[in-house]
Structure formats: structure tokens, C-alpha cells
């Protein structure tokens, strides 16, 4: 009896340790954007690339802090057509009081969350319900600021996820 219990435990451990991890529910990636403004000429253009094997199934943006008033911290949902499919790159722009996708489609109106000619910071949140999920290493984003040519590289934003692909099998927190 004791030998069969040990054998069963060994088989269970072998099964648990082999194969790819299956993600139950959704996985999330958060980009914290502290340096945004509604001032003309200081637009922020971000290129987000989905290197995962899953589609992004939900995208939101929430103004978390504002220079002119207390921010409502309400998540504004992008239309599903603007989610980033696996293997795709998308431009997300913060221009004035709007967020646009691929340079033309306004997806979020921030006029009730920010003032004109003001600074604000927010959280760009991506979710996936796929089998392998997304994380900061598979959903990469780089941002540029201004309307000059070339644009200025934006630094100071942070990516955080809820995966276990980071150091010590914990979440990733990556600063840019």
C-alpha cells in the first residue's frame, strides 16, 4: 500500500511538472503611463506588439491622476475591434483628450477625466482569455512623444503583469 501511494504521488508530480502551463481565466498586462498631457505638441504615440500565441481580448484605459482635479479612475473600454490580435502590432496614441488606435479611430474620450492643457497619468490594461496568456515579455510596447521628427523617446512608464514568468516564478515588473 505504501509503495503504491508513493508511486501515485510520483506520477502526479511528474504530470504537474511536465507540459505547458494552462492559464485558467484571464491574464493581464498593465502599462502605467505617468507622463501624459493634453497640451498640443506633446502627444504620445505607442507601438504595442503582441508576440504571444493568444489574442488580446479586452483593452481599457483609466486616468488615475490628473493635475487639474481628482481623477475618476474609471476604466474606459476600447471597442473589441481595436484589440491586438496575436502576431500584430498596433499604434495607440494619446492626443489631447482622446485615445486613438492606428492613427485614425478615436476609441476613448477622456474629456470628462482630464482638463485642457493639463497633465495626467493612467493605466493601459490588456487582458487575454487564451490558453497561454499574455505577459510583459510577450506584449511589448514602446512610446514616443511630441510632433517633431524624429519624435522623442518616452521613458518612465512601467509594465506589470499577473504571470509567473518573472524572476523566481513571480510577476514581471519592467521599467522603460
Instruction: Report the distance separating Cα 50 and Cα 141, nearest Å.
Output: 9
Instruction: Tell me: pLDDT of 7 over 70.
Output: no
pLDDT in tens, 79-120: 988 999 999 999 999 999 999 999 877 899 999 999 888 999
Q: What is the percent of the chain with per-residue pLDDT over 90, rounded to a whole number?
A: 68
- pLDDT of res. 21: 38
How much is the pTM?
0.83
Q: In sequence order, what DSSP letters do the residues of 85-141 get, joined into one string?
A: -TT-EEEEEEETTEEEETTTEEEEE-TTTS-TT-EEEEEEEEEE-SSS---TTTEEE
138-145: average pLDDT: 96
**Average pLDDT of the chain?**
86
Instruction: Tell me: pLDDT of 170 over 50.
Output: yes
For residues 35 and 121, the answer to whether their CB atoms sit within 8 Å is yes
Instruction: Report the distance separating Cα 153 and Cα 65, nearest Å.
Output: 22
Q: How far, CA to CA in Å, does 115 sit from each of 32, 44, 62, 73, 93?
A: 20, 17, 15, 14, 18
Instruction: Report the distance separating Cα 60 and Cα 127, nearest Å.
Output: 9
- pLDDT of res. 25: 64
Provide the 3-class DSSP secondary structure of residue 169.
helix
Amino acid at each position: 500500500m505504501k509503495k503504491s501511494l508513493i508511486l501515485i504521488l510520483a506520477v502526479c508530480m511528474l504530470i504537474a511538472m511536465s507540459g505547458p502551463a494552462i492559464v485558467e481565466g484571464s491574464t493581464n498586462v498593465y502599462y502605467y503611463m505617468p507622463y501624459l498631457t493634453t497640451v498640443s505638441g506633446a502627444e504620445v504615440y505607442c507601438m504595442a506588439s503582441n508576440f504571444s500565441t493568444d489574442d488580446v481580448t479586452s483593452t481599457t484605459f483609466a486616468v488615475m491622476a490628473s493635475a487639474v482635479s481628482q481623477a475618476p479612475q474609471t476604466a474606459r473600454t476600447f471597442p473589441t475591434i481595436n484589440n491586438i490580435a496575436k502576431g500584430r502590432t498596433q499604434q495607440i496614441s494619446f492626443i489631447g483628450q482622446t485615445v486613438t488606435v492606428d492613427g485614425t479611430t478615436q476609441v476613448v474620450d477622456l474629456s470628462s477625466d482630464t482638463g485642457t492643457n493639463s497633465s495626467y497619468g493612467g493605466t493601459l490594461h490588456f487582458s487575454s482569455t487564451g490558453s497561454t496568456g499574455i505577459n510583459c515579455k510577450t506584449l511589448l510596447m514602446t512610446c514616443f512623444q511630441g510632433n517633431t521628427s524624429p519624435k522623442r523617446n518616452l521613458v518612465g512608464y512601467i509594465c506589470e503583469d499577473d504571470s509567473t514568468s518573472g524572476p523566481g516564478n513571480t510577476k514581471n515588473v519592467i521599467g522603460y
